[in-house]
Each structure stands twice: as structure tokens, then as C-alpha cells.
Amino acid sequence: MRIATEDITALNVDPARARVYAEGWQSWSLTAPLPLAETPYRVTLPNSLVIDCHYCSAPDEGVFRGEGLLAVDPGDGGPVHVFGAETAAARVPVVEARPRGRQVVIAADAPVRHTTAGGGLETALARWGDAFAGQNGGVRPRPSPTVWCSWYQYFSGVTQRDVEENLAAMDDLTLPVDVVQIDDGYQAAPGDWLVSSGRFDDLPGLMRRIRDHGRRAGIWIAPMVVARKSELFSAHPEWLVTDPESGEPVVAGDVLGDSCAALDLTHPGAAEYLADVLRTMRGWGVDYFKIDFVYAGALEGRRHEDATGVEAYRRGLRLIREAIGPEAYLLGCGAPILPSVGMVDAMRVGPDIAAYWRSPTGHPTEPSQANATRNTVARAWQHGRFWINDPDCLMLRPEVERREDWARTVERYGGLRASSDRLYGLDAWGLETTRRLLTPGDPAPLV
């Protein structure tokens, strides 16, 4: 899909010194201040276009694109120009910067506000963030709990025994873990959240045992995607977002081991189904929810009710909050950035971490320490204004590349602190560093 934009202004800059900050669409989307003279990465892979890009669309070659926010730092000490949305309640404006000689031309597909600020790029973004949060229901976030997450050690093969072993290790090793969060792998398929994968004998009972150990129970869920292999996909095709032309389910990406569709939460049946799932989990004692792959809720398509993708997404977030209650902690991941402001407690701000520094493919949104670090540093200004930033979990076991570097990044920029190692597999340095860094996230802004 090609986005039609109109020119707003042209800025006189030195191309060798100027930088452009272009806000990515969702948690994993590439976000960084890049030199104007550098050719920006352009998404071409079909799956990445669906997952990482608003409207499943990439800009033209050589064009910087921001989703609701783009800033130009001239690099000469002069004021930073910020072009940002007033709101993201119904749609997110596309803002583009096109280098043209000693100018950069700014264009957008909807009205945006142009402001300037001194003090450098981070200060300008922070000032804009204060204003945007104030206009869009943002509140000062509450401190985040410390977490142990099953994902980066066991991935989707996690078992009940794995969780029980680490629960015992937390006591044995005196680790300050508030929340034990079970990630992907407990469910039969995305969409069939209350059907066991077969690796958990008694999930409600496990949640009870976690609480009996004096810790809180947490769970991962991808509430806005439905796997084609799931019972839900076959039983309720009317609950899926569809293509207006073909009538087929809109593809939400090849993720979680299957080709997934998007759940239409404007449909009363789908909304009640998801609310019942979440209320059931809340009844198990779960009070920490990590919602993942939720960009799917903002995909455009035909729904039961006439709504833009962003409107439907925000409606879904309100449904989730109502179902889990105001006291439960809500972490967004794979989530559209600006439409989520004021609606989650914490937000993943970068791609997944990994045991290696660089992605083997070089793709900028795939799991790797380099990709996670880039986004975490670039989005530091969002912490304490929009939510608690989540850089992603600590991985400090001996086989992790450059684990010391990742520990320093989490220590400097991390708000939400989580561990995702098999705890008995940590060496002395890994254990001591995990113990030291598992502290409640400070809600004070970093910038």
C-alpha cells in the first residue's frame, strides 16, 4: 500500500551533520536517530511489512518514515524540529523526511504539529512526550514489579516442571522476584488459551502454588491473534478481521508457529470470549499480564463494526483492562506505540533479546542484543512519560554473548526488570548480577 503524503515544509540543514529520529510503528519496529546522509533501512520482507509497518507499507527508497512522530536535529546546536501527532485515538499520521540537497523536505498524510525545542534531540522528544501524554490520557506510571519469565530459556517448549524448578530456585537462591510469569507454551494454540498444550498438568494449581510461595502469578497471552490451527479459527470465522475484497481473513503474520489471523474485538462474541478468558485467568490469581503481538488488533480490514484499525485496537485495550481490573499490571509487547499511551503500565520498547549480539540475518527488527539495545536507548525518553519502559529480560547465563554489555544496558535504561534464565544454570557472576539488578522499576523519567 502506498501512502499519499503532502509536503509541509523544507528545512535547511547540513546533510553531513543532521540526524532524523523516526518513531517506529510498534515495539519491535526500528527506531533510532539516524544520520540524514545514511540511507534508512527499507522493509521488503512480506512478513515484516505486516508485523513492523503501519498499513503494511514501507516508504520509498531513501525516505525516513515516522509513525506519528518525526524529529530533525540539525546537528549544529540549533533547535530541533519535531513533527508530531496531536492524538492517536483514531489513526496515526505518517510523517516522512526526504533528503534533497542541503534541505530535508517534511511531508505527512494527515495534520501534524510542528514545534521546535533547544537542548538537543532527547530533550526535544521529552518535551513533546510530556505534551502528548498530557493530551492523551497519559498518567505517571506506577513502579513495576520484578519478574522471572520462562521464555528465553525454554521458549514454547516450557513445562510445568520447568516453572516449578525455577520457583524453588528463587527461594533457594534468595532472588527478589515478585512475579513468576509463564510465557508462550502453556496453551494448545494461539486463540485456544484455556486448552492445555499438554505440558501443564494443572495450570490453575500452579498459579496457586506460585502465590503460596509469596510471589505473584503472571501470564503471557497474544489476545489479538488467532492461529489457523486453533479450534477458535475453525469454529468462529465471523470473529476474524477480513479483507474487504476477498473476504478472507487478514493475515496477521507467520508467527507463533503458524499463519495467524486478527481477532475482531468489535464483534460482541469475540469480545466476550476474550473477556471470559482473561476473567478466568484473573480468577486463577493472575495479576500480571504480558500481552504480545497486539499490533494485529490495529490491522486494517472489515470488522463487525465500522472502525479504523487504531480505533479497534484501543477498544481492545479497554476491553482487556476492564477484564483484568485496574490493580493488575499490564505489559504491552509488539504493540503500536502512540495508540497505547495511557493504556498500559509498561511497554516493550525494542525487539526481543537473544543469546547473540547481532541477528544472523542482519534484519533490524529480529531478536538480537544489538537491535534491542538500539531501540531501548532511542526510546529512553518515553520512560516515565508514557509508561515504564521494558528493554526486555536479562539473559546472563554463561553462553550468552556480550552478557556484560546487556546487563549494563538494562541497568542504565531498564525500567521493568525481568530475568529469563534457568536460575540454577547461572554462574557466580550471572547470579550476583541478576540478584543486584532485580529491583522495582523506578517510574521517574530517564530524560
Q: In whole angstroms, give the CA distance from residue 11 to residue 269.
A: 51
Residue 212 among the catalytic residues: no
Residue 14 among the catalytic residues: no
Q: Give the active site residue among 258, 352, 390, 421.
A: 352
On the CB side of 431, how many CA atoms lie within 13 Å of its CA?
A: 13
Q: In whole angstroms, give the CA distance from residue 51 to residue 291.
A: 15
Grid coordinates given for 154: 525454554
End-to-end CA distance of the chain: 36
Q: In whole angstroms, give the CA distance from residue 29 to residue 31.
A: 6
Please give the angle made by the CA atoms of 8, 9 and 12, to the nearest 5 degrees.
160
* Three-class secondary structure of residue 263 per DSSP: strand
Judge whether 227 and 219 are in contact, CB under 8 Å: no
Q: Which helix (H) or strand (E) holds 340?
A: none
What is the torsional sign of CA 349, 154, 231, 287? negative
User: Nearest 5°: phi and psi at 237?
Assistant: -65, -20
Residue 215 per-residue DSSP state? -
Q: Give the active site residue among 184, 192, 292, 345.
A: 292
Nearest to 275 by CA among 317, 330, 226: 317
Q: In whole angstroms, give the CA distance from residue 241 to residue 300.
A: 8
Grid coordinates given for 322: 476492564
194-221 burial code (b ≥16 CB/10 A, e <16): eeebebbeebeebbebbbeeebbbbbbb
Burial of 235 (0-12, 13-18, 19+ CB in 10 A): exposed
Judge whether 165 and 424 are in contact, CB under 8 Å: yes
Residue in this structure with the C-alpha cell 526500528, named with its chain if needed:
30
Active site residues: 292, 352
